[in-house]
Structure 1
Amino acid sequence: MYAKCGLIDEARRVFEGMQEKNVYTYSSMIVGLASHDRANDAIALFNDMVRRVDVEPNHVTFIGVLTACSHAGVVKDERYYFAQMKDMYGISLSADHYACKRLILLGGAGLGLAESMENTEIAKAATEHLLRLEPEGIGNYMLLSNTLASAGEWDEVSKLRKVMTICNELV
């Protein structure tokens, strides 16, 4: 909950104080770090997690680490984690994973979302379609939020974040 509220240092203190950590606690912390501009910390925590024998990442964990790669602009690392997800852990790719991959590839090419598409309306329509297919996918909301932010549509970003907050409260 601390991470969702943006209190990352507090979330980290609680996480570090836990006697028993599992895939859910690791995933929550990794996603929290990645979502709040601590990409390198998220990647480091993921690497610590996979070194543990008793904790194996799941699809949410990989959304977190792929999002962190996107924010850090590390295309080489993203490719490694994407391959690991499929080959080492047998995790099926979802629209969320592909959305993270698309953001990373565009960022790695030195292109913002708005610059890489002739019309941000196309990006919005595609992302909104993803939301209809998979409304619970946090990566879809993040993709739309990033698209709107890249286009400078801050009022729309604000509205979307309010919707995301309401959805989180309902879950």
Structure 2
Amino acid sequence: MTKPPSLPPLVRNLLLGLLSVIVLAGVVLLLNRGSQVRLEGSILKVRVVPTDDNACLAVVDFRVKNPSSTLFQVKELRIVATGADGAPIEGQTVPQMDLDRVLAYHKIAGERFTPVLKERDRLRPGATEDRTAAAGFALSEKAFGARKGLVLKIQDADGVTTEFGDVPPKP
């Protein structure tokens, strides 16, 4: 019976060293995956309240999750619509008190069910929350309804920006 050929010692040691490096890198990545500041989110509902012939208010209900092991403190929240022509249109964010007044006046739009996400709000590590945000746009309700998309941009106090949005509305 013949003995199977063996690898030369240099090749065998090189392969063992490479395997060790790959295992070590995988362990380091696995242990540090929660230390990266980030958010995951999805838009649940967008309500449009016409405030004028050429202006509207977009009330966005969304779910946000902080999957990291780091506290996320909101520095800035922006809502950007993509117009029918593809141009980005940034809305003017609306504070909670003004939003409550508008929704109380326009009863058909419904009420605010979740807290408004605002500057200096903190999202705890591992937490999932339902929140609301609103922005005024210098677009008619019809023009806003013809948009191609809507994106929420949430910036952390450390500068990291997370973006998530909805699918463009169907005609």
TM-score over 0.5 (shorter chain):
no
Q: TM-score scaled by structure 2?
A: 0.24
- More helix by proportion, 1 or 2? 1
Larger radius of gyration: 2
Bigger RCO (CA 8 Å, 6+ sep): 2
Q: Judging by fraction of residues, say which structure has more strand.
A: 2
Taking structure 1 as the reference length, what is the TM-score of the superposition?
Answer: 0.24
